[in-house]
Amino acid sequence: MRIFFRLTALVKPYFWWMALAALIGFATTGSGIGLLMTSAYIIAKAAFQPPMAALQLGILGVRVFGLARGVLRYAERLISHNITFKILTKLRLWFYDAIEPLAPARLMHFKSGDLLQRIVDDIQSLENIYTRVLAPPLTALLVTALMWMLLGVYSMQAALLILLFHLLAGIGVPLFSTQLSRGIQVGIMKHKTVQQVLALDLFQGIGELQVYGKLPEHLEHMRSAEKSKLELQRRNAIIEGMHDSLTGLLMNAAVISILWALIPTVSTGGVNGISLAVITLAVIASFEPFLPLPATIKHLEADKHAGERLFEILDAKPETVAPATPLPFPSNHDIRVEKLSFTYPDSLSKTLETISYSIPAGQHIAIVGPSGAGKSTLTALFMRFWNCSEGQITIGGHNINLFDPEELRRNISLVSQRTYLFAETIRENLILAKPDASDDELKKALSAAGLAHFTSKLDEWTGQHGMKLSGGERQRIAIARILLQNAPIIILDEATANLDGLTEKEVTETLKAITAGKTLITITHRLKAMEEYDNILVLDKGAITEAGLHHELMEKDGLYKRMWSLQHEMAATLM
């Protein structure tokens, strides 16, 4: 129930619009009842061949109710759809606003297919909270009250009977069908999530699945998820069919029992024959708003499940938050790392332990070390994807936690091993770094990054994940982004590791040219052109074990020298 109340709180701003739509919805059903009642009145009365004038009131009623029903239905649909789209817009914006600060630290535990399901299907399911969950019971309740009063005018017995059957159709049938369909909606949603996750894995990992012969097994998983979902949908359809039949059965039972109760009173003058026809058709029409009620409970179950999944994400606390009054990014770009330690959540040991070093502004330093030493973790701390567990990183003498994380990230360019390109045009992928960049700026950046031949292809699609580009071209797009961003600090995290020797050499030269005069932190385990760095830090098992210039480290006979010698021996053997 708590989830339901939290969900209704979200749609509270539209309360008056919803109330208006519900009122018009009720008026529409009321017009339908009025139309049938007046029609029954005319037909029954005409059987006695009265003068035309005696039918005038009935004819007017048919016209008014007939027209009103159409116009009101249109108005109700217009308003309720407007509310639905407003709710959808609000939910999507609300969700994106909430999810963005959680990336990447808090989203690592979710599979991307699962997140996609929450963003698309779960929110889609919640858009119906007004039309399918809140409005139908309200309309049914108002119609029950209307019928109670209307039939009360003719006969208290009929009024009591209609109340009984409305209660059965409004509470009994939905409760019965809820009992039968318990868990079906949640089950369908769960199978859909599994399908999304499997489908994404298939698209992204089809190569690996084929190479390791796991494609048939993966497809079998997908088929089995589809089969289980279809089975639940089949059961759902049977129960839905049963709801409609039961409501129809109750409607007929209501008609028969009211006729059975009233017919004897016709001869005694209690109810006249015309009124009997009017009541009968009114009873039939009054069951219309009860038909969607079982679906209401079904949607309620689905909405609660969707709400739980969304709140699970929204209630997560972001790893990093902007301070209330963030400091402006300083003009002094001296960096200091002071006694920094870091432990990943759920991890038993420290990934980084008591690291301290300084990088004066404009210096080029390299952080080297074996795989798993913690080099990329250090980058993530610089970008404030995570907070340091102990110690601090300062820029210009200020703890980086005092800056707005977005401002910090604008001032640090990061190129990683694998540049992510969106399935967009080259232009869209570049303006990420500078949203207001002119065509001229984009072309200059491309040319400087060694992609002069792309300047005429700004609006060409890069393919899914930039698949239409080679690895070298993708890294050059990242370089063009650095140029556009023009940040004073640049971090290259294995930026050339995936490239062949020749391309690596070209890309490295371009990088050298564009990083001149800026603070550069190169993270690598491949020791090439190391003599060009102002300082080299050797990271091993989360601690800095050596630091100095290339020739100093080569004299020490430590890990650095071993790594360098090993790599150069291997290179010599391959040549």
Residues that bind ligand ATP (CB under 6 A): 108, 344, 347, 351, 369, 371-377, 525
> Is 307 or 369 the residue whose CB approaches ligand ATP more closely?
369
Between 299 and 375, name the residue whose CB sits nearer to ligand ATP: 375
Whole-Å CA distances, 420 to 114, 149, 191, 473: 20, 67, 30, 12
Choice between 377 and 496, CB closer to ligand ATP: 377
**Which one, 351 or 496, has the nearer CB to ligand ATP?**
351
**Sheet with 543-548: strands ordered across:** 412-415, 489-493, 519-524, 364-368, 535-540, 543-548
Instruction: Assess contact for 493 and 523: CB atoms under 8 A.
Output: yes
Looking at the Cβ atoms of 526 and 556, the one nearer to ligand ATP is: 526
Question: CB of 370: closest distance to ligand ATP in angstroms?
Answer: 7
* DSSP tag of 112: H
CA distance 155 to 263: 12
**Cβ-Cβ contacts under 8 Å for 321 (sequence gap 6 or more):** 101, 405
Secondary structure percentages of the chain, helix, strand, coil, to 5: 65, 10, 25
* Residue 101 CB, nearest approach to ligand ATP (Å): 17
Nearest to 195, CA basis, from 259, 318, 111, 74 = 111
**Sheet of 335-342, strand order:** 352-359, 335-342, 390-395, 398-399
Residue 128 CA to residue 116 CA, distance in Å, equals 19
Output the smallest distance, CB 114 to ligand ATP, in A: 17
Residue 453 Cβ vs ligand ATP, minimum distance, rounded to whole Å:
32
Identify which of residues 39 and 379 has a Cβ nearer to ligand ATP in the complex: 379
- Judged by CB, which is closer to ligand ATP: 109, or 453? 109
Minimum Å distance from CB 109 to ligand ATP? Answer: 10
**Integer CA distances (angstroms), 311 to 13, 15, 98, 140, 328, in order:** 19, 22, 10, 30, 33
Say how many Å lie between the first and final Cα of the chain, rounded: 71
Q: How far is the CB of 324 from ligand ATP (least distance, A)?
A: 28
CB of 372 to ligand ATP, least distance (A): 4
CA distance 278 to 155: 12
Which lies closer to ligand ATP via its Cβ, residue 324 or residue 348?
Answer: 348
**Nearest distance in Å: CB 380, ligand ATP:** 8
